[in-house]
Amino acid sequence: MVRRFKFEGAIYETLDCVPMAVRRKLDRAGIKISLEQWRALGRGERLAICHLPANLEEEREALTLFINEAVGRNGGALPTVLSDADRLIAEPPADPPEELTKRAQDAGFALTAETWGKLDPDQRYALMKLGAGSKVSHDFEPALKEMLDSGVASTPASGR
């Protein structure tokens, strides 16, 4: 199953963009693929990447090998290897970063240590990716609303 967030909308139907769950897998594996590389993959390859596990080191190695081979078959450059520092975002901190809480507050949401503690690692990762970088994503506010207002962050993939 792949983690599905409501704020990502129809992304799971088309897979034209890289879903948040895949972005976390890639960060955990230490690689980054461009949108162009992602779109050059076949739908089956994109689905496989969505559903391949990446919890154990050997799973991340297999995922990286699969992606490198799939991207390579399309004649593109291999995915970028992330630095150790860039890989850290895949495992969000126990407390919300001050910059993130400020940006959430600016958007009208209270992202406290208590509310952060109620979020699971995937939710924390999504908020970090969307709101803690140099540029805040247009999906940051919808993600905050989904995770902090409704209490239900995502739904599992259907058994298709």
Band of residue 158 on the pLDDT scale cut at 50, 70, 90: very low
* Same-domain pairing of 97 and 60: no
Please, what is the Cα angle at 21 between 19 and 25, to 5 degrees? 115
Both 75 and 104 in a single domain? Answer: no
pTM (two decimals): 0.88
Residue 150: pLDDT band with limits 50, 70, 90 = low
Please say which residue of 85, 100, 115 terminates a domain. Answer: 85
Task: Give 82-130 pLDDT, tens digit per residue.
Answer: 999 889 989 999 999 999 999 999 999 999 999 999 999 999 999 999 9
| Predicted local confidence at residue 155, as pLDDT | 36
Residues 65 and 8 in one domain: yes
Distance, in Å, from the CA atom of 80 to the CA atom of 112, rounded to the nearest integer, reads 34
Percentage with pLDDT > 90 across the chain: 81
81 & 98 share domain: no
Q: Is residue 78 located within the same domain as residue 130?
A: no
Range of the domain at 32: 3-85
What single-letter amino acid sits at 38? W
User: How many structural domains compose the chain?
Assistant: 2
Contact predicate 111/144, CB 8 Å: yes
Please check whether residues 80 and 39 belong to one and the same domain.
yes
Residues 48 and 109 in one domain: no
77 and 96 assigned to the same domain:
no
Q: Does residue 100 share a domain with residue 70?
A: no
